[in-house]
Chains A and B, each alone.
Chain A
Amino acid sequence: MAKDVFGEKGQQEFEPVIVAYCCNWCSYAGADLAGTSRFEYPTNIRIIRVMCTGRMDPTLVLEALNMGADGVIIAGCHPGDCHYQKGNYIMEKRFEYIKKAVQSIGIEPERVRLEWVSASEGGKWAALVREMTEQVKALGPSPFRVTGNSK
């Protein structure tokens, strides 16, 4: 995950690594649709499929940042559309504490994002990845990024 992306001269443009936790029923299908619809979006994203955002433990987000991820996206079904009824509501509440925890560590809270992407929103997914990549690029590398060999 935490590879040196600065190249030999250390002058090349910084390419962030963004971990995306996508819910199986909506966002993962949305990301899949973005691919099959041939929407172009940056390759900085690393998608991890979870059954529901309600299953997401805050430690998963913190571990990803701790291991050198520059940003984390949590993508789930729109409110009211959760396959398990209220998983995304659980995540929404939990996300407040995740943001506070990230901020208290000293990491910019903008590196962590919660979004709702349905299975039919391939375009939204592509736009989200583009936007997040630009945002993280502007913030710069994560303080935990290993700039030598991969961890």
Chain B
Amino acid sequence: MSEKREKMKRKTDATIDAFKSQRLRWVMGRSQIKMEVEEEKYKKAVDAIMHDEVERSLITGALKEKSALTVEELSKMTDLQPSVIVQHIIALRRNGVIAEAGEKNRQFLYKLV
């Protein structure tokens, strides 16, 4: 499988996982309820959440594949900036999805809980 195709496949799997996530489903379901939020603002919020969830699914997908990884390794696998990965790690740790799993080359390793 070519590298480009593999990356697309990984992103598709992450997007499918994102659409299965409770957060995105909940916010998309809100579209049927009369809201006090302007439609444009709501759409922007859904876009941002969808974007976040896909990136988080890419991270959890990489951790599923390789048990424990550092931010640098995650960045290589997912093509995301380390700063973006750190932000998602904070959220994923807070939600109890991932946890620290020791150190490697003076960097924290992370694994799925």
Chain A residues proximal to chain B, CB less than 8 Å: 57-59, 62-63, 65-66, 86, 90, 93-94, 96-97, 100-101, 104-107, 143-144
Contacts and interface: CB of A to CB of B under 8 A. Distances in A.
A40 B23 CA distance: 45
Contacts of B31: 90, 93-94
Contacts of A107: 8
Interface of B: 4-5, 8-9, 11-13, 15-16, 18-20, 28, 31-32, 43, 46-47, 50-51, 54
B interface: dominant SS: helix
Contacts of B46: 97
Contacts of A97: 28, 46, 50
B16 A104 contact: no
A93 B33 CA distance: 12
Contacts of A63: 16
Given A93-B31, A97-B46, A143-B5, A105 B19 contact: no
Main secondary structure on A side of the interface with B = helix
Contacts of B8: 105-107, 143-144
B50 A62 contact: no
Contacts of B9: 66, 144
Contacts of A144: 5, 8-9, 12
Nearest to B7: A106
3 interchain residue pairs of minimum CB distance: A58-B19, A93-B31, A66-B12
Contact of A101 (B4, B5, B20, B50): B50
B32 A105 contact: no
Contact of B11 (A59, A94, A96, A105): A105
Contacts of B54: 101, 104
Contacts of B12: 62, 65-66, 105, 144
A66 B13 contact: yes
A96 B47 CA distance: 10
Contacts of A59: 16, 19-20
Contacts of A66: 9, 12-13, 16
A104 B15 contact: yes
A99 B31 CA distance: 17
Given A104-B51, A143-B4, 4 more contacts: A62-B15, A62-B19, A104-B15, A105-B11
